[in-house]
Amino acid sequence: MIYPLRIWSRAGADILSAVLRTRLWSSLTNEIKAPVEIADNFFGVNIAASDDPLCDEYIIDRLHKLDIRQVRMCYSYCSPSGNAQRLLDRVLDEGMDVLLDILPPREEAAVLDSDATVQQRWKEFSIAVFDLYADKVAAFELGSTPNRGRWSGFSSRSYLIAWKITSGAAAKYNVTLAGPNVSDFEPFYSIGFLKAMKRMSKPPEIHTVNLFVERVIQPEVYDHRALGHWATNIVRLGLIKKARIIDSISRENGCEQTYCSYNCWTRKRLKRRVVDIEQKNADYLIRYLMLAAASGALNRVYWGPLICSRDGIIDCGAHDYPKIDNVSFYKEIRGKREDFQIMPAFDALKYVSSKLKNATCLQGISCMNGVNHMIFDHPDDGEYHVAWCQDGKVLRLKSIYPKDAIDAAVLTNGFGEQLQYRPHAITEQPLFIHWPERGMNRPNIDMLSKLPHINSDGTLYPCIKGHQSIPIDNQNWRGALLIKTDQDVEQAIQECLPEHLESLPEGRVLRDTKRRNRLWNIQLASHPNQKITIKLNRVKGIKAYTYRFHRSKAKRHWNNAAQMLRLGVNTPQPVAFLERHIKSGIKSNYYLAYYLEDAFSCRDVFGAFQKGDAIFKGYTKTEMFDKIAGFICHMHNRSILHRDLSAGNILMTQKAEGDDIDIYVIDIGRARVQTDTLSGRARLIDLMRICYKLDWADRERFIQSYNRALGKEVSSLWRLPLQYYEAKQTIKKAVKKKLGLK
């Protein structure tokens, strides 16, 4: 018998012993210890069957296109004589290396520790699987995510009983066992399970985990969820260090190999962060696999699932998702074969696996000063470099390579497509650099490690297709520039410097308050078909002091625009921002953005309907309110709070009356992009400002439009903040009038 109290007391002792012995693995780091050889069988993919037998051939064909022969499949009580067995037999006939994850149904896993009938059924199932596939399947994995009982059904006790039964049944077969497949980075669970498995029978030959980093979004950043934000930069749990901790647990417990059995990013989670979901999914896949391979701590990584609408590298076209998460039981493909669509992440996996298999990592740094840089040697391709930055950061290539080195290189993106332009910076999208001659232009790792902290001034850089973001830093000005890929960088920088801007003929002056700021239009030679709006923020009074500690208004505009565009919220595309620095702080600063030609504002819309117009630009009042409120709701759903959302700060463009309307938000210097979901109270901060110019009947209509977009009532007490704001503005106007102020 396995008694609960004994399990937890022994597990506690095992974990305490590990903590004392390893000192929380303080000797392990994220440093890449080259050379690291990457095996031909390092890459694997999770697959599942479909009701359509023709899908089997589709899967085989896609595996061949990926040039990956290692697959992982889930196999449960519903699998024998069903779709899963049909696919399993097919991939085995193809000569694939199969890791077969055998598991009981969730409801039986939950009672496996107390029901003798369920235990007997599990034993019979294990023996039947071994009888059929012992000499065909490379390894058998028991269960999945035992630390996530709501998915798998397992408790710690029921999983250990299942292991005892299965390992006992496997004794007469010459099979390789794998487990326990703990989900996320939870090493204490791995220690507890492996120690108990070792005491009961034997440890698995292969230690499997689902080494997800999706919860911290970027693959290389330090995990703040493991021990809390306070410890993030103390323990520095990056992907490489996590993999090494898991590998040290494997070796400590007699496991011969360590596999990451499942990893992916879900589109649902990515959608909260970026508008270009598929590009970002591909970027993260490459970055994860590069780090995992260079760590030297993992023997294999299975990407998965191959086909799924939410998180597959092939979209199945189905709109639903199983109640049991795919990571616990990837049971079946839910869509129809004719709806399958290959996603960019598929091509990224194909390319990165071809570049890494049989390669040797000669040198590398991970997340040092925000940059990742690795050098590989491949028996077929020779030496090549891979570089990328954390999201929102850039590093000028000339910081690492001389110009002639870049000119001589072949540059490709993460899909293996040769770039038709010469990038000037390393960005969040991995860049592959190859020279025909081995060892040519290799940067010294000591030089790389001494790079300045990129973007340490807090500047965020937009990542827009067809454009490059470049930092500006000379003796007079500091800032950033967004240019098209075919533009000359140095010329564009000189063109945007204020000394040049002030010399250009002025177009329309949009605003000029001597005390605060000035807005006017110009035409730049680099943008012949697009007018540019310049916003000069004058630094006077207390700001000359506070800007020593806070970001200037120009930088706030730039950063907010970069985040909004990343999140799919329209704002005029930024061109540049510049700050003049002196010892006493920041002086006047400039923000440049595209001018919206023939734009009209929300104030124009409200004014037309208040005058009694039934139609404006081809739309009724209700239709216009729905469009504007829908845009604001979309902005709020992206956790963006404008904080100065007057009717004049929403602009719209329309090609012809009756055409669709594009909506933009401007004057975004005060906006905040939050990490958590906006509350109803926070949303009302913006709504009370945008509704201020409306009468009460129209305010109610506008809030109803917002509620329809939100899918629920923002607040039943929405009138109170509007009444407060109206009273505040009335008093403010009265005081100004009394003092003779405008």
Q: Which of 554, 555, 577, 425 is nearest to 496 (CA)?
A: 577
The token pair at 6 is 């004994």
Q: How far apart are CA 165 and CA 576, in angstroms?
A: 65
- 687 dihedral zone (left: phi>0; alpha: psi -120 to 50; beta): alpha
Name the residue with higher pLDDT: 543 or 285.
285
Peptide bond into 180 cis (omega under 30): yes
Report yes or no on 455 lying in a domain: no
Instruction: Please report, rounded to a whole number, the percentage of residues in the chain having pLDDT higher than 90.
Output: 65
Considering the domain architecture, whether residues 616 and 490 belong to the same structural domain is answered as no
Q: Which of 349, 378, 344 is nearest to 361 (CA)?
A: 378
Dump pLDDT digits (tens) for 638-680.
999 999 999 999 999 998 888 899 999 999 999 999 888 899 9
Residues 6+ apart with CB under 8 A from 344: 278, 279, 281, 282, 415
Q: How far apart are CA 287 and CA 366, in angstroms?
A: 10
- 3-class DSSP state for residue 252? helix
- Whether residue 2 has pLDDT greater than 70: no
Asked if 406 contacts 396 with a C-beta cutoff of 8 angstroms, the reply is no
Looking up tokens 């492996």, which residue turns up?
194
The token pair at 317 is 């076209």
Asked if 109 contacts 158 with a C-beta cutoff of 8 angstroms, the reply is yes
The token pair at 672 is 């905040």
Considering the domain architecture, whether residues 656 and 675 belong to the same structural domain is answered as yes
214 phi, psi to nearest 5 deg: -60, -30
Query: Residue 398 — pLDDT band, cuts 50, 70, 90?
Result: confident
- Whether residue 116 has pLDDT greater than 70: yes
Q: Which of 485, 622, 624, 627 is nearest to 570 (CA)?
A: 627
Considering the domain architecture, whether residues 546 and 564 belong to the same structural domain is answered as yes
CATH at 244: 3.20.20.80
Instruction: Please report, rounded to a whole number, the percentage of residues in the chain having pLDDT higher than 70.
Output: 93
Q: How many domains does the chain have?
A: 4
- The predicted pLDDT at position 124 comes to 96
Report yes or no on 151 lying in a domain: yes
Q: How far apart are CA 565 and CA 561, in angstroms?
A: 6
- Whether residue 445 has pLDDT greater than 80: no
Residues 6+ apart with CB under 8 A from 3: none
Mean predicted lDDT score pLDDT of the chain: 90
Report yes or no on 285 lying in a domain: yes
Sheet-wide strand order for 360-368: 36-37, 360-368, 371-378, 382-389, 431-434, 410-412
Peptide bond into 305 cis (omega under 30): yes
Asked if 249 contacts 187 with a C-beta cutoff of 8 angstroms, the reply is yes
The token pair at 387 is 């570089």
Dump pLDDT digits (tens) for 11-63.
677 667 766 666 667 778 888 898 999 999 999 999 999 999 999 999 999 99
Q: What is the mean pLDDT of residues 583-592?
A: 76
Q: What is the mean pLDDT of residues 506-521?
A: 83
Considering the domain architecture, whether residues 586 and 608 belong to the same structural domain is answered as no
Looking up tokens 């294990």, which residue turns up?
126
**DSSP assignment letter at 332:** B
Q: How far apart are CA 603 and CA 223, in angstroms?
A: 45
Q: Of the residues 567, 594, 621, which one is the last residue of a structural domain?
A: 594
Query: What are the start-end ranges of the H helices in 44-82?
Result: 54-66
Question: Which residues span the domain enclosing 622?
Answer: 600-739
Report yes or no on 460 lying in a domain: no
Lowest average pLDDT, out of 5-9, 209-213, 331-335, 519-523, goes to 5-9
Identify any residues that bridge with 412 across adjacent strands, giving them in sequence order. 418, 432
Dump pLDDT digits (tens) for 489-505.
889 999 999 889 988 88
CATH at 698: 3.90.1200
Report yes or no on 462 lying in a domain: no
Which parts of 313-450 are beta strand (E)? Answer: 314-315, 341-342, 360-368, 371-378, 382-389, 395-396, 410-412, 425-426, 431-434
Q: For residue 451, how many other CB atoms are within 10 A of its CB? A: 17
Considering the domain architecture, whether residues 49 and 161 belong to the same structural domain is answered as yes
Q: How far apart are CA 634 and CA 567, in angstroms?
A: 10
Q: Which of 154, 56, 156, 53 is nearest to 101 (CA)?
A: 154
User: Looking at beta carbons, which pairs linking 718-727 to residues 24 or more positions away fall under 8 Å?
Assistant: 718/684, 718/687, 721/684, 721/685, 721/687, 721/688, 722/687, 722/688, 722/691, 722/692, 724/688, 725/688, 725/689, 725/692, 726/692
Q: What is the mean pLDDT of residues 368-374?
A: 85
User: Which amino acid is residue 154, in one-letter code?
Assistant: F
Dump pLDDT digits (tens) for 339-365.
999 999 999 999 999 999 999 999 888
| pTM recorded for the entire structure | 0.93
Query: Residue 206 — pLDDT band, cuts 50, 70, 90?
Result: very high
Q: Is the dihedral of CA 493, 499, 504, 508 positive or negative?
A: positive
The token pair at 531 is 């007018």
Q: What is the mean pLDDT of residues 255-273?
A: 93
Considering the domain architecture, whether residues 322 and 364 belong to the same structural domain is answered as no
Q: What is the mean pLDDT of residues 304-332?
A: 93
Residues 6+ apart with CB under 8 A from 400: 373, 387, 426, 443, 447, 448, 451
Q: How far apart are CA 725 and CA 689, in angstroms?
A: 8
- The predicted pLDDT at position 617 comes to 93
Q: How many residues does the chain have?
A: 742
CATH at 586: 3.30.200.20
The token pair at 208 is 């499997």
- The predicted pLDDT at position 529 comes to 86
Q: What is the mean pLDDT of residues 96-120?
A: 95
Q: How far apart are CA 233 and CA 281, in angstroms?
A: 26
- Whether residue 154 has pLDDT greater than 90: yes
Sheet-wide strand order for 662-665: 600-601, 650-653, 662-665
Identify any residues that bridge with 581 across adjacent strands, giving them in sequence order. 586
Query: Residue 381 — pLDDT band, cuts 50, 70, 90?
Result: confident
- 470 dihedral zone (left: phi>0; alpha: psi -120 to 50; beta): beta
Q: What is the mean pLDDT of residues 306-322?
A: 93
- Whether residue 170 has pLDDT greater than 80: yes
Query: Residue 106 — pLDDT band, cuts 50, 70, 90?
Result: very high
Q: Of the residues 449, 477, 496, which one is the last residue of a structural domain?
A: 449
- Whether residue 155 has pLDDT greater than 70: yes
Q: How far apart are CA 697 and CA 694, in angstroms?
A: 8
* Beta-strand pair 97-102/395-396: unpaired
Query: Residue 510 — pLDDT band, cuts 50, 70, 90?
Result: confident
Considering the domain architecture, whether residues 629 and 714 belong to the same structural domain is answered as yes
Report yes or no on 456 lying in a domain: no
Considering the domain architecture, whether residues 127 and 265 belong to the same structural domain is answered as yes
Q: What value does the CA radius of gyration of the chain take, rounded to a whole number of Å? A: 30
Q: What is the mean pLDDT of residues 295-315?
A: 95
- Whether residue 169 has pLDDT greater than 50: yes
Can you spell out the DSSP letters for 131-145? HHHTTT-SEEEE-S-
Q: What is the mean pLDDT of residues 191-207?
A: 91
- The predicted pLDDT at position 5 comes to 47
Looking up tokens 């006992």, which residue turns up?
168
Report yes or no on 459 lying in a domain: no
Q: How far apart are CA 272 and CA 414, in angstroms?
A: 23
Residues 6+ apart with CB under 8 A from 418: 410, 411, 412
Q: What is the mean pLDDT of residues 129-144?
A: 96
Lowest average pLDDT, out of 75-89, 144-158, 220-234, goes to 220-234
Q: What is the mean pLDDT of residues 381-389?
A: 91
Identify any residues that bridge with 40 across adjacent strands, giving them in sequence order. none
CATH at 390: 2.60.40
User: Which amino acid is residue 52, in one-letter code?
Assistant: D
Considering the domain architecture, whether residues 528 and 655 belong to the same structural domain is answered as no
From residue 97, alpha-carbon distances to 41, 88, 141, 210 in Å are 9, 11, 13, 19
- Whether residue 740 has pLDDT greater than 50: yes
**DSSP assignment letter at 653:** E
Looking up tokens 């709501």, which residue turns up?
150
- 3-class DSSP state for residue 341? strand
Q: Which helix (H) or strand (E) segment is 287 a member of?
A: helix 277-295
- The predicted pLDDT at position 10 comes to 67
Asked if 84 contacts 73 with a C-beta cutoff of 8 angstroms, the reply is yes
Q: How far apart are CA 302 and CA 43, in angstroms?
A: 6
Q: What is the mean pLDDT of residues 721-734?
A: 88
519 phi, psi to nearest 5 deg: -125, 130
Dump pLDDT digits (tens) for 683-701.
999 999 999 989 999 999 9
Q: Of the residues 334, 355, 376, which one is the last residue of a structural domain?
A: 355
336 phi, psi to nearest 5 deg: -95, 145
Report yes or no on 454 lying in a domain: no
Considering the domain architecture, whether residues 478 and 571 belong to the same structural domain is answered as yes
User: Which amino acid is residue 268, in one-letter code?
Assistant: K
Query: Residue 8 — pLDDT band, cuts 50, 70, 90?
Result: low
Q: How far apart are CA 610 and CA 627, in angstroms?
A: 18
- The predicted pLDDT at position 349 comes to 98
Considering the domain architecture, whether residues 243 and 289 belong to the same structural domain is answered as yes
Lowest average pLDDT, out of 123-127, 540-544, 588-592, 699-703, goes to 540-544
| Secondary structure string (H, E, C) spanning 549-605 | CCCCHHHHHHHHHHHHHHHCCCCCCEEEEEEEEECCEEEEEEEEEECCCCCEEHHHH
- The predicted pLDDT at position 545 comes to 61
Q: How far apart are CA 432 and CA 410, in angstroms?
A: 8
- The predicted pLDDT at position 127 comes to 96
Considering the domain architecture, whether residues 109 and 251 belong to the same structural domain is answered as yes
